[in-house]
Amino acid sequence: MVSQDRSSPATRLYISVRVKFVIAFIGACLWTWFSLWMAENWIRDLSQLIGSVAAIFFIYGIAIIPGFMNSFAALSLLMDKRPKRKILDVYPNITILIAAYNEESSILDTLKSVDRQNYLGGLQVIVINDGSKDRTAQLVKQAEAQYSWLTLLDLTQNAGKAHALNEGLKLAKHDLVLTVDADTYLHRIALQCIVERYVADPPNTRAVAGKILVRNSRHNLLTKTQEWDYFLGIAATKRLQSLYQGTLVAQGAFSIYDRNALVEVGGWPECVGEDIVLTWALLRAGYRIGHSEDACVFTNAPTELNVFVKQRQRWARGMMEAFIKHPGILIKPRLSTFFIHWNVLFPWLDIAFTFGFIPGIILACFGHFWIVGPMTLALLPMAFLLGFLNYSIEKRMFKAMDLKIRKNLTGFFVYVLAYSFLLQPASILGYLDEILKTRKKWGTK
């Protein structure tokens, strides 16, 4: 497909991805060396109270390793200048798979957002009703008369999201396959953006993850807080990983895949974190996973605390499943392997935060600054820099897409000050779920 560049030609210094990686890594190492120098007295004093091993475990998990990650991310994003998308002369035909379980309240809105796309290629949409007990199948059946591109695959028995998607894949007619969650609303040019990014990315790309934003952010304080997590945290992580040619999760809510590659790796695996395990299978096969930062969709975030915790448990458990199913990916010689090694450290960081930082805050309230004190302020400079960069990048993207950042100050302050108090203990529960092999089910994203 021949394409035409919409951007004006400009001459600028080109820095290869590998050179960017080296610069960011050296900068992060220097910041970590400075942090360790500053933390010498802190480690020594805490060692006298709880022993040197425990002191190193908690201080490294609370401050040193997160400081390295923040500085690496900030330096990388400062150098990230990705090419603009290009209008295609011919848009490829695509198949969209929508797995639905008890989604009568949202499925018609999702289909309406697909209809608004005005996508210039052929379109096939398959809704796989996974044994819903509500009116999901009935509503989609009625919608078939309205939308010529729509097909209902009605599974009478609930067998899980992976099974539903694999059944839908059997009916896919086109070489490019997208997944969309049944409560997701697509921005008016989301399909165009994600397809253009897929075509523009390097030839070995076999999947591209879209941008997920919160649709129901006004519902309550929990959704207001999650709005900032999706806008800043999750978006920045995917952008950073994509820069180094290996986004680690092409999420089921909105991603595009090469159909042949899906078949090659066996489709979606039967597990809780089917999207991350599938993504790692593609990475292990040697393919690249990209990220389209302006292919925006809006999803309904959990509105109840217990549902939110279950969602983040599932995400954490999915990461554990990915390691178990693809252990060889840890020695794959590619830049994205660096971030998989980061994931190895996440249980350490979550445990250190939950059992070190949270009790440390309580102790600090009574004047005991053994764990949380002046030294923890060393995290703030890089954290602020990273937050500012993330916000600036997303603000530019929103402006280009005719979107506006909502003035959600309450959610922002809760996100900055308290969000981790929910997120990281929930992740520990997810790790325990996989270790204890508790029952696996889908029902939250």
* Boundaries of every domain in the chain: 17-79, 88-304, 337-436
pLDDT attached to residue 385? 82
Q: What is the pLDDT of residues 90-104, one digit of tens each?
A: 999 999 999 999 999
Region of 441 please: left (phi>0), alpha (psi -120 to 50) or beta: beta
Is domain 88-304 classified as CATH 3.90.550.10?
A: yes
Helix H or strand E encompassing 434:
helix 420-436
- Pairing relationship of beta strands 123-130 and 205-214 according to DSSP bridges: unpaired
pLDDT attached to residue 416? 87
- Pairing relationship of beta strands 176-180 and 205-214 according to DSSP bridges: unpaired
Query: Average pLDDT over the chain, rounded to whole?
Result: 90
At 83, the pLDDT band (50, 70, 90 cuts) reads confident
Dihedral of CA 211/297/311/161: which sign?
negative
Give residues with Cβ within 8 angstroms of 9, minimum separation 6.
Answer: none
pLDDT attached to residue 2? 38
**82, 376 contact by CB (below 8 A):** no
Q: What is the mean pLDDT of residues 112-138?
A: 95
pLDDT attached to residue 3? 42
pLDDT attached to residue 426? 94
pLDDT attached to residue 276? 95
pLDDT attached to residue 25? 96
pLDDT attached to residue 10? 45
Q: What is the pLDDT of residues 354-384, one digit of tens each?
A: 999 999 989 888 888 888 876 676 667 777 8
At 400, the pLDDT band (50, 70, 90 cuts) reads confident
Q: What is the mean pLDDT of residues 97-122?
A: 95
CA distance 137 to 171: 18
Q: What is the pLDDT of residues 249-298, one digit of tens each?
A: 999 999 999 999 999 999 999 998 999 999 999 999 999 999 999 999 99
Among 194-208, 256-270, 330-344, the range scoring the smallest mean pLDDT is 330-344
Q: Which tokens is 283 given?
A: 């990475």
Region of 343 please: left (phi>0), alpha (psi -120 to 50) or beta: alpha
Q: Does 299 score more than 90 pLDDT?
A: yes
Q: What is the mean pLDDT of residues 399-413?
A: 89
Q: What is the mean pLDDT of residues 161-179?
A: 97
